[in-house]
């Protein structure tokens, strides 16, 4: 069986970029997809973009929620479970960086905000997904990590540390929840050509640095990531749990990107 038709799914940060692309991919295969994010109009636009592609048996809906606010996370999980009474798929995609720069100039508030959004936000999503997945006999959780969480990227260390925390969180959850039929994995994208990364993928020294460190020598696409998440979400990967999957053109084989290049300082 390789179908996710009729399965419920929540994608956090689903209004744009990888979240939107993945929501579309799951909806094409007939899942009941819910997307959440902080901006209502962005979510509404995303739903309108996804609707023409929804496969037979599926649907797409939206709910405004901030993953750093636990009550809103709990509400988003329950909203997502409504079509069947349980949750089958969670892609904890919401994240971002509130700090970039050298350690000796670190802004503590920016570091805390980065950890809160990425690591704590993902933890809250997993926490509230557990009972919703247990009601259906199990499910698949995919955390959004990054290559920056697996190997150093100069000046992106706060974001990288938070993403490394997600990788360990997902391994720990996989170990704890396997007996409940809940699989937990994370993905580690490299540089992807979407709205968030357009300031890099448009060209310049940092993009050149990325390409030089990448055996496949091209930026990723949203579809590259969405296809991997679809695999981890579905029954095709039913014997896979606790992995942190690089999707980066081989970047993890070489050196991390140097974000000081954005500021003309190597």
Query: Which residues are part of the catalytic machinery?
Result: 159
The set of residues, in sequence order, having a beta carbon less than 8 Å from that of 224 and lying 6+ positions away, is 189, 192, 247
Nearest by Cα to 101 from 250, 258, 225: 258
Max Cα-Cα span within the chain:
54
Q: Strand locations in 13-101, DSSP E?
A: 32-37, 59-64, 89-92
Q: If residue 239 lies in a helix (H) or strand (E), which one and from where to where? A: none
The alpha helices in 91-247, defined as continuous H runs, are 108-115, 121-134, 157-177, 198-201, 205-212, 222-233
φ and ψ of 32, to 5 deg: -85, 100
Rounded Cα–Cα distance for residues 164 and 147 (Å): 9
Rounded Cα–Cα distance for residues 106 and 77 (Å): 35
Contact at 8 Å (CB) between 136 and 86?
yes
Tell how far CA 94 is from the center of its chain. 6
Contact at 8 Å (CB) between 29 and 4?
yes
Beta bridge partners of 9: 33, 89
Rounded Cα–Cα distance for residues 255 and 58 (Å): 42
């Amino acid at each position: 069986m390789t179908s996710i038709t009729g399965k419920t799914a929540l994608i956090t940060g689903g209004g744009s970029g990888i979240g939107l692309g993945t929501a579309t991919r799951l909806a094409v295969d007939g899942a009941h997809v819910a997307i959440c994010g902080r901006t209502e109009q962005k979510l509404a636009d995303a739903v309108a973009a996804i609707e023409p592609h929804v496969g037979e048996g599926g649907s797409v809906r939206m709910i405004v929620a901030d993953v750093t606010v636990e009550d809103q996370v709990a509400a988003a999980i329950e909203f997502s479970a409504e079509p069947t009474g349980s949750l089958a798929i969670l892609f904890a995609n919401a994240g971002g960086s509130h700090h970039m720069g050298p350690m000796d100039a670190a802004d503590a508030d920016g570091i805390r905000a980065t950890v809160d959004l990425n690591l704590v936000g993902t933890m809250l999503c997993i926490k509230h997904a557990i009972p919703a997945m247990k009601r259906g006999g199990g499910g698949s959780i995919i955390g959004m990590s990054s290559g920056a969480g697996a190997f150093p990227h100069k000046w992106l260390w706060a974001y990288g540390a938070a993403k490394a925390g997600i990788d360990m969180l997902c391994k720990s959850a996989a170990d704890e929840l396997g007996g409940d039929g809940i699989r937990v994995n994370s993905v580690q994208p490299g540089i992807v050509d979407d709205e968030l990364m357009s300031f890099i993928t448009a060209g310049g020294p940092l993009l050149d640095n990325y390409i030089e460190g990448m055996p496949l020598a091209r930026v990723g696409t949203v579809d590259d990531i969405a296809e991997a998440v679809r695999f981890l979400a579905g029954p095709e990967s039913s014997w896979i749990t606790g992995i942190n999957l690089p999707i980066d053109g081989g970047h993890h084989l070489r050196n991390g990107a140097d974000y000081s290049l954005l500021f003309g300082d190597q």
